[in-house]
Structure formats: structure tokens, C-alpha cells
Amino acid sequence: MVTKKVEISIKSVLQEKVWNRLHKISLSSQISNAYIFSGPPGSGKENLAIEFSKLLNCENPSSYGCNHCPSCTRFLKLQHENLKLIFPLPAPSKKSGSSVNTLDGKNVEIVTELINKKSVDLFFKIKVPGATRILINSIRELRKSLYLKSENSGKKIVLIFDAHLLSMGQGEAANALLKLLEEPPENTSFILVTDQINLLLPTILSRCQSIIFPKLKDQVIEAWFSSKRIHKEDISFFTGLSNGNVHQAAFLNSYKKEDLIDLINNLLNIIINKNPDQWRTFFQTYSKLAKDDFMLFSFHLTLIKIWFQGANRLQNNIDHILHHTQLKMGMERFIRLYDCADYSLIISEFDELTNAVKQNLFMPLVLTNFLLKIQKNINNQ
């Protein structure tokens, strides 16, 4: 019963303004053929895309759908006949051809498991190992299924997660989708979900109604952590390091508070001090991590970036949730020692480093320049 109350609490505050708009759309007779749900990572876009799809097919619609009718039950399991899920998949071998139907046994099991996890936790992010783009064959198979005659009632919904990856490679998948949007199948709505709307083709954007998601409020993240049995006194700590990103929160949930404090302090010590041995270890460790586990690499960087954002606000007397945690003392010490630090440039260097990794640049050199620039901006030289 406690879990149910927490779920209701999260739902009631999750992107309330956005949901009110979607709810009004569901009550109207002008449901678009295509939507783009865009906003920062972990802002609940996929969650509400599924909720909206479920509502459009609910047999007893209310504010969020009844969750009890056969249609809602199948949508919650992500197994509804009107639901088509598209997301990045590993490129198939030349022999196999393409897409989910021709994945090898291991990948089929992985995809099935990931979809099951998504059905249990709508905040869960589907990430198939080795998947870097949405495949042209996923769109081709989608086209075939959408134009088949069906006696199913309700509205067909196509959810495309990480839609910006349609444009990867030669953009074949994006062009194939564009043809579908130009001549949309009857009684079908596409929902493209993306963190990087700027990577989508302008021609696709022009055919979609835009729904913009802001960063999640702290109260949503707090409710999420409450459902994960985090000690009440530690929720502010974990919420502050989540920075409105529920995927970041999920990473944090696998760590102990003490381990996170040690990780932050160790990285800050390396970044701030010019210790050759520590820098050499940093280059070796994070060059490898950037290649082998970008999500973990990004997670570590994000922790320090959020810490600097908190220190910046503390110096400017702007309240931040981390100011009510054990991390405040370290921020105060940093401000005393480096009262001329340029926080805006420091924070931007973390974004530049992330972009450099995505471009497959030579990481030891990139990391060297990163530390040197941070040093310069800390001392405002």
C-alpha cells in the first residue's frame, strides 16, 4: 500500500503542466498525427509518452487512464496490439538482415528483458548494448505493420525513443520515417522522444507538434527516492546530485552515500591539485572509461559538475538543495580558497569534455586540456 501511495504521489507532480496539456489534447477531437517530446535527459518524457498512449486507448478514461481495463493493463505491460516501440538496436550482420526479428538469440533475450524492466518502471531507460542508431529496417517493418488492415479498436501509437538517433549514419531511418509522416496511416499517432531535438531533420520537426519538457522538480525526485527506501535524512543529498534527472537518480541509487562522497572528494582533489601522479592515473582511468562505459564516465563527470553548480550558487547566496547536506562544508572551503573562480567557464568545460568523447577524439590529450583549462578557470588566470 505504501508503494502505491508513492506511485500516485510521483504521478501527481510529474510534469504537471505538460500533462495537463496532454490531457486536454486527449479530450479534444484534434489529436495530431505526430508529436515530439523533447527536453533534458531524465525529465520523464518516455514515462508520459506511455501514459499518454495508454490514456488515448483507455476504455474508462479519467485523468491518467483507469489502469484497470484490458487496454490499460496491456499498455502497462508494453504489450498492447496498438503500441509499436522503436528504439536503437545493434546493427545486424550482413547475413541476418535487420531489426528485432533477426537479432541473434542473446540480443533477443536482452531486448525482451529491457522491455520487461521498462514495463515495471516507466522511468527505466532502454539501452541495448552496441546500439548506436535507429535502424532503417525498424522503420521498414513498422511501415508494413501500420498499413496492414486491423480490426483493433482504439488508436495506434508509435513510440520512438532516442528519436535523434534516426539521423545517425546516412540518415536512412530518418528519411524513411519522413515518408510515413508525409502520408500517415489512418488513426495513428507518432510520438518521437528525444534529448537532442537539434539533431532531427527540419522536415520531420515541421510535421510534428512540439511538447517541451523542463527538468524534473526536486519533489518528483524526492518521491522517487522515497519509493527506493533511501533513509529520509539522505534524500536531500541524493536528490541534489540527481539535478532533476531521474536516470541520474537511478545511477545514484546503486551507490552508498559514503562512497559517493569519497568519489566526489577524490575527483575534486585530482582536478584542483596539480599532482602529476594523480593526473596520470586520471588520464589512464577515464580514457578507458570513456571508451568502455560512457554512461559511467558521464555519471562521474555529472557529479562534479553538479557540485560546482552548487558551489556557484552558494557563493552567490542562491539556495540549492545540496547546501543542506554534508557537501556544503567542502563548497565553503573551496570558495574561501578560490574566491575568483569562474564557475560558468568551469561548468562549460564539463560539457565540452562530454562532446569530445562523442566525437571519438584522442582522450589522453582531451583530458589533459580539460584539467589545464579547469586549473586556469579555478584560479581565473
Residues 80 and 169 in one domain: yes
End-to-end C-alpha distance for the chain, whole angstroms = 57
Residue 352 lies in a domain: yes
Residues 194 and 271 in one domain: no
Residue 280 lies in a domain: yes
Residue 357 has pLDDT above 60, yes or no: yes
Q: Give the pLDDT of residue 11.
A: 61
pLDDT tier at 77, thresholds 50, 70, 90: very high
Work out how many domains the chain is built from and give that number. 2
Residue 232 lies in a domain: no
State the pTM of this model.
0.88
Q: pLDDT tens across 259-302, in order?
A: 999 999 999 999 988 899 999 999 999 999 998 888 899 999 99
Residue 100 has pLDDT above 80, yes or no: no
Average pLDDT for 306-311? 97
Range of the domain at 18: 2-212
Q: Give the pLDDT of residue 98.
A: 46
Residues 262 and 193 in one domain: no
Residue 100 lies in a domain: yes
Q: Give the pLDDT of residue 49.
A: 96
Residue 230 lies in a domain: no
**What is the 3-class SS of the chain, one letter each residue?**
CHHHHHHHHHHHHCCHHHHHHHHHHHHCCCCCCEEEEECCCCCCHHHHHHHHHHHHHCCCCCCCCCCCCHHHHHHHCCCCCCEEEECCEECCCCCCCCCHHHCCHHHHHHHHHHHHHHHHCCCCCCCCCCEEECCHHHHHHHHHHHCCCCCCCCCEEEEECCHHHHHCCCCHHHHHHHHHHHCCCCCEEEEEEECCHHHCCHHHHCCCEEEECCCCCHHHHHHHHHCCCCCHHHHHHHHHHHCCCHHHHHHHCCCCHHHHHHHHHHHHHHHHCCCHHHHHHHHHHHHHHHHHCHHHHHHHHHHHHHHHHHHHHHHCCCCCHHHHCCHHHHHHHHHHHCCCCCHHHHHHHHHHHHHHHHCCCCHHHHHHHHHHHHHHHHCCC
The CATH code of the domain that includes 100 is 3.40.50.300
The pairing of beta strand 131-133 with beta strand 89-90: antiparallel
Residue 218 lies in a domain: no
Residue 12 has pLDDT above 60, yes or no: no
pLDDT tier at 13, thresholds 50, 70, 90: low
Distance CA 235, CA 188 (A): 42
Residues 169 and 276 in one domain: no
Q: Give the pLDDT of residue 103.
A: 67
- Domain end position, chosen among 212, 244, 264: 212
Residues 158 and 48 in one domain: yes
Residue 157 lies in a domain: yes
Q: Give the pLDDT of residue 166.
A: 95
Residue 9 has pLDDT above 60, yes or no: no
Residue 307 has pLDDT above 70, yes or no: yes
Residue 247 lies in a domain: no
Average pLDDT for 329-358? 92
Residues 193 and 277 in one domain: no
User: Cell numbers at residue 292, please?
Assistant: 568502455
- Whole-number average pLDDT of the chain: 89
- Domain end position, chosen among 212, 233, 267: 212
pLDDT tier at 199, thresholds 50, 70, 90: very high
Residues 129 and 11 in one domain: yes
- Domain end position, chosen among 188, 212, 236: 212
Lowest pLDDT segment from 10-19, 182-191, 219-228: 10-19
Residues 59 and 201 in one domain: yes
In Å, the largest CA–CA distance within the chain is 70
Q: Give the pLDDT of residue 10.
A: 58
Residue 73 has pLDDT above 60, yes or no: yes
Q: Give the pLDDT of residue 50.
A: 95
Residues 77 and 144 in one domain: yes
Q: Give the pLDDT of residue 329.
A: 96
Q: pLDDT tens across 34-45, in order?
A: 999 999 999 999
